[in-house]
Amino acid sequence: MARFFRELGAYIFDADRVGHEVIEPGLAAYREVVKRFGKDILDSGGRIDRRKLGPKVFADLRQLRRLNAIVHPHIIARVDKLAAGEHERNPHAVVIVDAALIFEAGLGDTLRKVIVVWCRPEQQLERLMAKTGLPREEAERRIEAQMPIEEKRRQADFEIDCSGTLEQSRAQVKAIYPELMRLMG
């Protein structure tokens, strides 16, 4: 959905991409993650290999919470800085943080509005497996580690049901965008 908002003029910050950036070698989050989870999560170049880290943290929710407690504050700080820079350039900009874990990271109350994009559970699983190449069992664990979608929908200001066609999803984005622009007035 982010691309549809981008087409309408919104600035999109991808929290997953920022998450990759904040765990680059030499940065504080990198050092904290390696200290907590060990050097066996590194690839041959010394970078954190998410394919090695993932099974460790998604097999044990305590470990996932520990990872999130390390990484989320760094992601939030970076996104806040990027958004502030965008608003400095354009005070009326619609800035969207594209993140699957808005509520889990404690960001829900810090944002002006929250849009939850959802689809039927079987579609969510299929799409995650297609995007990441994860086997079904691993993809299921990752979905189970998130807040249930029904709870996210209850907390949302807006919802986009992306269970249908791309054009149906695009139409929902087009319906929401004027309200976002109005808020930025």
Would you list the domain boundaries of the chain? 2-184
Q: Which CATH number fits domain 2-184: 3.40.50.720, 3.40.50.10860, 3.40.50.300, 3.30.420.40?
A: 3.40.50.300
pTM, full prediction? 0.84
Percent of the chain with pLDDT over 70: 100
Write the CB contacts of 163 (distance below 8 Å, at least 6 apart in sequence). 118, 119, 120, 123
Is 9's pLDDT higher than 90? yes
Segment 76-130, tens digit of pLDDT: 999 999 999 999 999 999 999 999 888 888 777 788 899 999 999 999 999 999 9
Strand 158-161 and strand 115-118: the pairing is: parallel
pLDDT for the residue numbered 109: 78
Name the residue among 112, 111, 103, 107 with its Cα closest to residue 153: 103
What's 108's DSSP letter?
G
What would the DSSP string read from start to end of 120-185? -HHHHHHHHHHHH---HHHHHHHHHTSPPHHHHHHH-SEEEE-SS-HHHHHHHHHHHHHHHHHHH-
Q: Is residue 78 a contact partner of residue 22, using CB atoms and an 8 Å limit?
A: yes
Q: Is residue 101 a contact partner of residue 68, using CB atoms and an 8 Å limit?
A: yes
Is 23's pLDDT higher than 90? yes
By residue count, the chain amounts to 185
**Mean confidence (pLDDT) of the chain:** 94
pLDDT for the residue numbered 105: 83
User: Given pLDDT bands bounded at 50, 70 and 90, which one contains residue 59?
Assistant: confident
Alpha-carbon distance of 87 to 10, in angstroms, equals 12
Percent of the chain with pLDDT over 90: 84
Segment 126-157, tens digit of pLDDT: 999 999 899 999 999 999 989 999 999 999 99
